[in-house]
Structure 1
């Protein structure tokens, strides 16, 4: 029996009201995550309670801002097992979600989750952020880019900000010790046409873990030469 008691308690702490359909979807999602994880490496976190806290509840912390209300078009860059994009979609069915990952076997998993949960207005695509964000279909087409990916903020900004339309936001989900990284990324964020408007520290319910949400607003178009190809954003951040 799949246990989501920690998720149920934690969503109350986050001010989120889970309906019956939401609960069923999270149960099914967790079952598929554990089942597929035995075949391919999706996550090192396999304990029920830890999945609830470190994947599901962590993914839902952006709802502590008001940026995800209503009908928004969002892209989750480096989504891995679907985090945070899939939990965000489960809570707000009005979101139009694109899940982007560089590993095709993860996309197969995500497509099975999307199908099993009967979700619409959500797609999982295989690709590299620095290539996709140069295509007119994706460049500056999203209200929100969000990422929980493991890269420094200056690098992530170059991968993510080009997807965001002017007036939209890039939400970077980070650990709590962010000050130096944030300071080092201000130049790249400015070059890419954006500015930091908020840094929100959130405690993950049911734990003593603190994470931060860096809220970056797109204030003008990103210069066409960005993002750079060939791994330059990682090797030589702006």
Structure 2
């Protein structure tokens, strides 16, 4: 693990108009780590993600990615540096086929021989290959989620962010998504996950960051979170 974090948020303050949502938020993610961002609805998780992705300009604080300050960059510039998001709601394009989704955003920026090309994505999600000529709006919810993950992987990101990637999916499809994320972790993909299925996340993630009313109130390992059930009821509603 590198000494310098791949992603670092420090003293991050952000909000919408006069309403402040984030208060001095800070955490780091090192290369190869899987980290979760946890908390009840409305605690600042989405605002944190929007700030990292450049969709929301922070009021103050610092965001560094791969050693470079990015808090003043636009979203497209941040994406080109190597951050990809699987957005809440999937946001697949209704007028593009599965294959077109996976080719339109493809980028071999990391130059790895084992990078994510379309055939490797099809191997990860065989159902996408079966549906390669289907339009985005012709897919089931689970298939759209697979496509959203595949689309993000096609950019060969240094950091992959998943915002509620299993929300609204049938249990069998959720299990497929968890298996995919476990495989990505084994391969060293750096990942930030926002989700509510804590039992699954404990087995999947290296570290967890809990937000409460826009502040980081706890950060630690899966072992630490597993053994302090008071955190579950106090901050996660579990």
The alignment's TM-score, normalised by the length of structure 2, stands at 0.31
Q: Which structure exhibits the higher relative contact order, with contacts defined as CA atoms closer than 8 Å and separated by 6 or more residues?
A: 2
The alignment's TM-score, normalised by the length of structure 1, stands at 0.31
